[in-house]
A and B are shown apart, each in its own frame.
Chain A
Amino acid sequence: MATSNQLKRVDFIFRNENDWEKILSSTLQRKPQDLINELISSELKGRGGAGFPTGLKWKLTAESKEKEKYVICNADEGEPGTFKDREILSRVPYKVLTAMAICGYITGAKRGFIYLRGEYKFLLPELNKVIDEFDYYCQETNLDFKISIFMGSGAYICGEETALMESMEGKRGEPRNKPPFPTQAGFMGKPTVINNVETLVHTFTIFKYGAKKFYDLGVQYSRGTKLFSVSGDTPKPGIYELELGMSLQDFVYEFGDGDTKAVQVGGASGFLVPRKKFKDAAIGFKGKLTGISLPTGGSMMLFNSSRSMFNVLDNYLEFFREESCGQCTPCRVGCQQLLLGIKAVKRGEKPASYLDKLLRLNETMQYTAKCGLGQSVANSFSSIVENFREEMIY
């Protein structure tokens, strides 16, 4: 059984302190190496969902001898059920800009970009105003760092870091082969740090309060806090900052409507956890000693017993079928066939055992798809089909 904590509410991210100029100037007086060490000791992991150690990412880019480098803030928040990045950019945008400038100082990058999804275009006027102010400050203090916004145009896959870079280079947003990783060859083939909006804000917190304060929150391997986007069948949908490592049982106790049947952790590309497994599941990165650990970009969707899990899966697969970039066969054909397959079983055109064939196709996609999209369709597909098999058939 996972360790049972009470939910711990925290307030770092949206705390409006308006002291970014002070934090920026005091941080820029410290040695880059010290800052990297501080970031590594905080054990901050990427908050977009994949969970790569942020300090290491910055370190690898800093070590590169290339002259030209870039910092990119990934604001292509497309995962169903996440809406935290929009809230950050509209409430505390200066924290994001400050963190990007600090990253530029550490890694030697002179240019920063915010890749903003097309759906959030209404944020532009306010965001541009803040960037202009920031720009003015940089010029006044002779800080050689310039930030601009690059707009997306409605493609989920562009949240994948290499697809995002292809998109910025004016091409179709198709993921690249890795390696080389963006830290070696990213935007325009140059070393690039690309971080989620929330990750950048956490680095601001770390440089302001010190790594220890961050490290002391959360549990082993999952340090610090995380923003959770709560939606679905809940009396209090919204955005909440909580310590990592909580048990799903406690989460449902707090946010459920008393009739919670299942929770989708991590959006359509995450896992569906049925009621009977709530007490064994904890929210955090892999490596916890007990129970199931569920990494997440923060999307928490609750379903009560009035919901058909077939409809939920059908909706997810429709989503993936449309958003698959079509570049690699396992994902392009796989998403279509999974969707056709569950519909055929539901209509009785295929026997129930056909679901096992689909699960095998699913496994193939997990191993052979080129990027995270095709690989992670398996997460929601297998967790729904295995836990709610009868709902798929009848």
Chain B
Amino acid sequence: MDPIQTLVKNLAEKHGRSRESVLPILQGVVEQENFLSERSMIEIAREIDIPAADVYGTATFYSFLETKPTGKFIIRVCKTITCAMKGKNQILFAIQDMLKIRLGETTPDKQFTLLETNCLGWCHKAPAMLINDEIYTELTPEKVREILSAYMKVNQNH
């Protein structure tokens, strides 16, 4: 069995093989693979015996389930009103400048993907962003550069 097959099988063992397990399994795949390949969705459909179109339909509904390849770290900058008022654009510029990518793009070394997202629920500490599941608040361009450097350093050591 190839790695995707094994991963899906393990997740199905853990969460069950009913329709209600679809979302936890999709989330499990994203946690491992960073995104959902067509292959993995077909595999999930086979494993819990539902049409692949249903798996695809569910997966594409949720903004945190990527169906295109992404970097290891997904940066999601909040763009909703309070963050927008408190300097979201400067944060975005700082990140783009540092990683040399535009919004929606992934760095060539497949480490970072830059996205915008809707309200993260940190309006009192705006602007905010998520890097994978980690939250960073009250951002300034300097702070963002420090955070990203730390991520880049960790990467080099691996």
Taking Cβ atoms with an 8 Å cutoff, the residues of A that contact B are 77-83, 86, 117-122, 150-156, 167-174, 188, 229-233, 237-239, 264, 268, 301, 303, 307, 311-312, 315-316, 318-319, 322-323, 325
Q: Is B65's CB within 8 Å of the partner chain A?
A: yes
In contact, A315 and B62 (Cβ under 8 angstroms): no
In contact, B124 and A122 (Cβ under 8 angstroms): no
Q: Select from chain A the residue with minimum beta-carbon distance to B62.
A: A153
Q: A171-B58, A231-B126 are in contact. Are A315 and B63 (CB under 8 A)?
A: no
**Cβ-neighbour of B118 out of A78, A83, A151, A311 (below 8 A):** A78
Q: Give the distance to chain A from B88, nearest Cβ to Cβ, in Å.
A: 10
In contact, A80 and B123 (Cβ under 8 angstroms): yes
**Cβ-neighbour of B81 out of A78, A169, A268 (below 8 A):** A268
In contact, A82 and B62 (Cβ under 8 angstroms): no
Residues of B contacting A229 in the complex (Cβ-Cβ under 8 angstroms): 123-124
Residues of B contacting A171 in the complex (Cβ-Cβ under 8 angstroms): 19, 22, 54, 57-58
Alpha-carbon separation in the docked complex, A207 to B65 (Å)? 40
In contact, A170 and B118 (Cβ under 8 angstroms): no
Residues of B contacting A238 in the complex (Cβ-Cβ under 8 angstroms): 124
Q: Is B85's CB within 8 Å of the partner chain A?
A: yes
Q: A171-B22, A268-B81, A319-B81 are in contact. List 18 more A-B contacts (CB 8 A).
A: A80-B80, A80-B82, A80-B119, A81-B119, A81-B123, A83-B122, A121-B133, A122-B133, A153-B26, A156-B118, A169-B19, A170-B18, A170-B22, A301-B82, A312-B81, A315-B79, A318-B79, A319-B80
**Cβ-neighbour of B64 out of A118, A168, A237, A311 (below 8 A):** A118
Q: A118-B64, A122-B133, A155-B61 are in contact. Are A83 and B123 (CB under 8 A)?
A: yes
Q: Is B6's CB within 8 Å of the partner chain A?
A: no
Residues of B contacting A318 in the complex (Cβ-Cβ under 8 angstroms): 79
In contact, A81 and B135 (Cβ under 8 angstroms): no
Q: Select from chain A the residue with minimum beta-carbon distance to B121.
A: A83
Q: A232-B85, A312-B81 are in contact. Are A172 and B124 (CB under 8 A)?
A: no
Taking Cβ atoms with an 8 Å cutoff, the residues of B that contact A are 18-24, 26-27, 54, 57-58, 61-65, 79-82, 84-85, 117-126, 130, 133-135
Q: DSSP majority for the A interface? A: mixed
In contact, B130 and A119 (Cβ under 8 angstroms): yes
In contact, A153 and B27 (Cβ under 8 angstroms): yes
In contact, B133 and A154 (Cβ under 8 angstroms): no
Q: Select from chain B the residue with minimum beta-carbon distance to A307.
A: B85
Q: Give the distance to chain A from B42, nearest Cβ to Cβ, in Å.
A: 16
Q: Which of B18, B20, B79, B119 has the most CB of A within 10 A?
A: B119
Alpha-carbon separation in the docked complex, A147 to B118 (Å)? 29
Residues of A contacting B85 in the complex (Cβ-Cβ under 8 angstroms): 232-233, 303, 307
Residues of A contacting B19 in the complex (Cβ-Cβ under 8 angstroms): 169-171
Q: Select from chain B the residue with minimum beta-carbon distance to A84.
A: B121
Alpha-carbon separation in the docked complex, A238 to B124 (Å)? 5
In contact, A86 and B121 (Cβ under 8 angstroms): yes
Q: Which of B26, B79, B133 has the most CB of A within 10 A?
A: B133
Q: Give the distance to chain B from A21, nearest Cβ to Cβ, in Å.
A: 30
Q: A153-B63, A156-B118, A169-B19 are in contact. Are A315 and B80 (CB under 8 A)?
A: yes
In contact, B119 and A78 (Cβ under 8 angstroms): yes
Alpha-carbon separation in the docked complex, A147 to B121 (Å)? 24
Q: Select from chain B the residue with minimum beta-carbon distance to A83.
A: B121
In contact, B120 and A119 (Cβ under 8 angstroms): yes
Closest 8 CB pairs of A and B: A170-B22, A154-B64, A231-B123, A153-B62, A237-B124, A154-B63, A172-B61, A153-B64
**Cβ-neighbour of A230 out of B23, B26, B124, B134 (below 8 A):** B124
Q: Select from chain B the residue with minimum beta-carbon distance to A78.
A: B119
Alpha-carbon separation in the docked complex, A120 to B61 (Å)? 19
Alpha-carbon separation in the docked complex, A322 to B84 (Å)? 16
In contact, A170 and B81 (Cβ under 8 angstroms): no
Alpha-carbon separation in the docked complex, A36 to B47 (Å)? 44
Alpha-carbon separation in the docked complex, A307 to B82 (Å)? 11
Q: Give the distance to chain B from A175, nearest Cβ to Cβ, in Å.
A: 12
Alpha-carbon separation in the docked complex, A156 to B61 (Å)? 11
Alpha-carbon separation in the docked complex, A154 to B81 (Å)? 17
In contact, A83 and B124 (Cβ under 8 angstroms): yes
Residues of A contacting B122 in the complex (Cβ-Cβ under 8 angstroms): 83
Q: Give the distance to chain B from A116, nearest Cβ to Cβ, in Å.
A: 11
Q: Select from chain A the residue with minimum beta-carbon distance to B118.
A: A319
**Cβ-neighbour of A170 out of B21, B117, B126, B133 (below 8 A):** B21
Residues of B contacting A316 in the complex (Cβ-Cβ under 8 angstroms): 81
Alpha-carbon separation in the docked complex, A314 to B77 (Å)? 18
Q: Give the distance to chain B from A38, nearest Cβ to Cβ, in Å.
A: 32
Alpha-carbon separation in the docked complex, A50 to B117 (Å)? 25
Residues of A contacting B23 in the complex (Cβ-Cβ under 8 angstroms): 150-151, 153, 167-168, 170
In contact, A172 and B121 (Cβ under 8 angstroms): no
Residues of A contacting B133 in the complex (Cβ-Cβ under 8 angstroms): 121-122
Q: Pick 22 A–B contacts, CB within 8 A, sort by A.
A: A80-B81, A80-B119, A81-B123, A83-B124, A117-B121, A119-B117, A119-B121, A153-B23, A153-B62, A154-B65, A156-B118, A168-B20, A169-B19, A170-B20, A171-B57, A171-B58, A229-B124, A231-B124, A233-B85, A237-B124, A318-B79, A322-B118
